[in-house]
Amino acid sequence: MDYIILDIEFNGRKFASELPMEVIEIGAVRLDSSLRLKDEFSSLIKPVYFSKLNSFIKKKTGIPQEEIDIAPGFPRVIAEFEEWLGRSENCLLVTWGGEDMKRIVFDTRMHKLNDAFWMGIHYFDLLKGYLRYKKVTNDVSVEAALLDLNLAAEGSAHRALDDARMTSEVFRAVFAELDFDYKQQYKDQYSNSKERRMIKNAVRSMMAQKKLQTWESFVESYLAEKIPLTDPRKAKELQEYFHSEIEKAAQAKSNA
């Protein structure tokens, strides 16, 4: 089993726009089953939209505009990256959070490429694994995890390959404590974290007050004016989340 530590950078922006954010850099580190470095992948990507990086992104990443100007496009880079991944007979992607997989899937679809590879491959969210290991709930950065583990942060933060290298150091340090049964495949989500957190908090309040509601009454009394449910996929997703949070809360209460 090889472990592919993946990181991407994308051209996020500080203003509202219907135009998509795009991946502008992919970096990855391949570790063998003994967690030894085998090789690396790195490439900039020229975006279709906002090809001129804004000042925030240039300052955050340090990526020179002239290098973006001559970088290959996403279809070529993602094909090269998939070929590079294919050099492993068996591999598991490792990410810090779920945003990297989401951005790759979205860009694959934007360019009308087949997303089957990215929907089928397994990945392990090291951020969640690290939080389970530390028994904390608040997200932390890779740099904060390195500091907590007394590991040196080398390289430039917010450059994909350097971030992948730093993430690999965290991975090595906590590897023995990780439960890889938590590996997953990318799944489309139609709700956002704010909406799910709102439901989670509401369920906790209901359980504390012993005023449990059905999903239908919950939607009518609580969600109707707060979360639009016109998309049936989103409504179904949030309904399943509502019931799962009730089950979690009931289980926690019985174990107390």
The most confident of 64-73, 130-139, 216-225, 247-256, by mean pLDDT: 64-73
Alpha carbons 212 and 28: distance in angstroms, whole number: 46
pLDDT at 13 over 70: no
The mean pLDDT value of the chain amounts to: 92
Angle (CA) 127 133 139, round 5°: 35
Residue 18 binned pLDDT confidence (cut-offs 50, 70, 90) = confident
Residue 101 contacts residue 43 (beta carbons within 8 Å):
no
Sheet holding 122-125, edge to edge: 37-44, 23-31, 2-10, 91-95, 122-125, 184-185
pLDDT band at 256 (very low <50, low <70, confident <90, very high): low
Mean pLDDT of 217-223: 88
Considering the entire predicted model, what is its pTM? Answer: 0.83
> Is residue 74's pLDDT more than 70?
yes
Output the pLDDT for position 212.
84
Mean pLDDT: which of 18-22, 147-151, 198-202, 220-224 is highest?
A: 147-151
CA distance 113 to 107: 9
CB 22 within 8 A of CB 10: yes
Asked if pLDDT for residue 78 goes beyond 80, the answer is: yes
Banded pLDDT at 211 (limits 50, 70, 90): confident
Q: Is the pLDDT of residue 86 over 90?
A: yes
Mean pLDDT across 10-36: 88
Interval 54-66 mean pLDDT: 89
pLDDT band per the 50, 70, 90 thresholds, residue 12: confident
Share of the chain above pLDDT 90, in %: 67
- The candidate with the shortest Cα–Cα distance to 123, out of 143, 98, 87, 105, is 98
Q: Could you give the 3-state DSSP secondary structure of residue 161?
A: helix
Q: Which helix (H) or strand (E) holds 26?
A: strand 23-31
Span(s) in the chain for CATH 3.30.420.10 = 2-185
CB atoms within 10 A of CB 130: 25
Rounded to an integer, the average pLDDT of 11-21 is 76
Residue at token pair 């450059």: 159
Which comes out higher in pLDDT, residue 47 or 225?
47
Q: What pLDDT is attached to residue 210?
A: 81
CATH class of 2-185: alpha beta
How much of the chain exceeds pLDDT 70, in percent? 98
